[in-house]
Chain A
Amino acid sequence: MTSSLRLNLGPQHPSTHGVLRLLLELDGEKILSCEPDVGYLHRGMEKMAEKMSYIQYLPLVDRIDYLAGFFYSELLCGVVENALEVELPDKVRAIRVMLLELNRISSHLLWIGAFLMDLGAVSPFFYAFREREKILRYFEKLTGQRMMYNYFVFGGVRKDIEYLEDVEEILSILPEKLDDYEKIITENPIFLMRTRGKGILEAETALNYAITGVNLRASGVDYDYRHNDPLYKGFDFRAVVMDGKDSWTRYKARVLEIKESMNIIHQALVYLKEAGKLEQKLINPLNLKLPEGDYIQEIEAPRGLACCYVKSTGEDKPYRLKWRTGSYYSVNLLRELLKGEYLNDAIAIAGSLDIILPEVDK
């Protein structure tokens, strides 16, 4: 009769992508149970919303997921626009979609680098950051910020789109670079051994744990909110659905999703080059009051479905504002997914879910 060992993983471990602490119970190297401990980055985003007017709150929401800030700006703007029944001009939609998809690519690129780093391969990290840097440079040129853009405003965008030739350059470089990644990563025997058949996530389990985004689609469920999103109306793309269910499939699905995002950006680019000057009617943010009622807005963020719920009582501040983020449910899934796996696979499996901690802690 041997007793089990309790092992503390994190919160400062480099492969936990922030401040996630996992309490593991081990029998030898086998994981008997896993208890995630979160909250090291809690900033009280929901409480802060109740004390601020909508325009005061807008710069904050980029920080919910600092790798994909545009998505959360879009959610808050979407809630306000829906509540006031404002229809966006086509050009504004195209600008937003193009920036969102560029942001998705930069987020997935970072994930590829960080995931391979978790597995012990250092060089893909530098390659992925090299390409990501190009996208961030473009964002900086356009919005003045590398990560916290604050570029979407209620009813439109802060200024007209510029430097489209930079986006064209990114689009022309990326396919070649992605092929390079695939050559060194996808069929690499060490990578295959660490990821093939590891961290199997069945479709029923994924749905039961409310897993969304790439993780769900890599388990064979065809659910991509972009197809129902009025923002993406008129864009032609398909959801990447794969049936492998393991860590390797989640990697492959993200690579394919980057290619699909490039397709969407290309369509937006063709439209934007022809479109004339930006004409938009911004909502006056001063003394902005939403009519009484409940509003809910959803978006397909890189780490799963994100929702913003606002209850308004007709005041200039929300009565209650709630965020739903994809990573929060992925962390909860670790309890189930790590059970029965070996300790050296724990990091690879947790990494493959693409968890980011500011999204979990809000």
Chain B
Amino acid sequence: MNWNEFERIFHGCELVGNKIVIQSNLLGVIEFVLKEYPYDMLKEIIATDKGDEGVELTYHLYSVDDEEDLFISITVKDEIESVTGIFKSAEADENEIYDLFGIKFIGNENLKRLYMPEDWEGHPLRKDYKEDDKRLEWNDKQS
């Protein structure tokens, strides 16, 4: 990839190993990368809660022909555009992240509580999550 041109179009991005850290315009970056290189699979989206900074989403792309991995990382507060229009597999990842981290994906219509009950409050993998749901009292009685 022509890194100089990439840097000119998308300001404030940096390259660490095979990971591109960007500030905004996720869809624009992915579309640009896909035009230049045949990344045909989105292996997974990794979400990490970074406390006050927000949640870091890392998109793990893979090209079967070139046998190459690429990571695109962006930190978001509470919402971001969905990539389901490009990769259908993102439906699964985005739903999981919505359930466990509370990030909304604009454009994904199928977001719902996946693992947690419908009426559960809070998102368990957030670092500030408190386990105070009254349904958890059962656990305390065991110890």
A is bound by B:
yes
Q: Which residues does A use to contact B, with CB under 8 Å?
A: 38-39, 42, 44, 46-47, 205, 207-210, 221-223, 228, 296, 305, 307, 309, 311, 319-320, 322, 324, 328-329, 331-332, 335-336, 361
| A39 partner residues in chain B, CB cutoff 8 A | 114-116
Residue of B nearest to A210 (CB): B89
A311 lies within 8 A of B48 (CB):
yes
Contact A208-B48, Cβ < 8 Å, known A305-B43, A332-B92? no
What 0/1 readout, one digit per residue, does chain B (34-70) give for beta carbons within 8 Å of chain A? 0000001111101111000000000010001001000
Q: Given A38-B114, A305-B43, A320-B49, check contact A332 B89 (CB 8 Å).
A: yes
Separation of A286 and B95 alpha carbons in the complex (Å):
37
Query: What class of interface size applies to chain B in its complex with A?
Result: 20 to 34
Residue contact B43 to A307, C-beta cutoff 8 Å: yes
Whether, in the assembled complex, B125 has its beta carbon less than 8 Å from a beta carbon of chain A, the answer is yes
Complex contact B44–A209 (CB within 8 A):
no
Which residues of B113-140 are within 8 A (CB) of A?
A: 114-116, 124-125
**A46 vs chain B, min Cβ distance (A):** 6
Would you call B88 an interface residue if the criterion is a C-beta within 8 Å of the partner chain's C-beta atoms? Answer: yes
A36 to chain B, nearest CB (A): 9
What residues on A are CB-neighbors of B43 within 8 Å?
210, 305, 307, 324
Return chain A residues, CB-CB under 8 Å to B47: 322
CA distance A332 to B100 in the complex (A): 18
14 CB < 8 A contacts A-B: A42-B115, A47-B124, A205-B88, A207-B41, A207-B64, A208-B40, A209-B88, A210-B41, A210-B89, A296-B60, A309-B44, A320-B49, A329-B92, A335-B91
Residues of A within 8 A of B100 (CB): 46
Query: B residues engaging A (CB < 8 A)?
Result: 40-44, 46-49, 60, 64, 67, 87-89, 91-92, 100, 114-116, 124-125
When the two chains form their complex, are residues B41 and A322 in contact, meaning their CB atoms are under 8 A apart?
A: no
Q: How far is the CB of B20 from chain A (nearest CB, A)?
A: 14
Among the listed B44, B49, B64, which residue makes an inter-chain contact with A223, where contact means beta carbons less than 8 Å apart? B64
What is the chain B residue whose CB lies nearest that of A46? B125
Shortest beta-carbon distance from A261 to chain B in Å: 22
Contact of A208 among B44, B88, B125 (CB under 8 A): B88
Please report the C-alpha to C-alpha distance between residue A311 and residue B89 in the assembled complex, in whole angstroms. Answer: 23
- In the complex, how many angstroms separate the beta carbon of A167 from the nearest chain B beta carbon? 32
Residues of A within 8 A of B88 (CB): 205, 208-209, 332, 336
Contacts beyond the supplied A208-B89, A309-B44: 16 A-B pairs with Cβ under 8 Å: A39-B116, A42-B116, A44-B124, A46-B100, A208-B40, A209-B88, A209-B89, A210-B42, A228-B67, A307-B43, A307-B60, A309-B46, A320-B49, A324-B43, A324-B44, A331-B92
Bound CA–CA A222/B44 (angstroms)? 20
B44: chain A residues at CB < 8 Å are 210, 307, 309, 322, 324
Q: Top 7 A-B pairs ranked by shortest CB distance? A: A210-B89, A332-B92, A42-B115, A39-B115, A324-B44, A320-B48, A207-B40
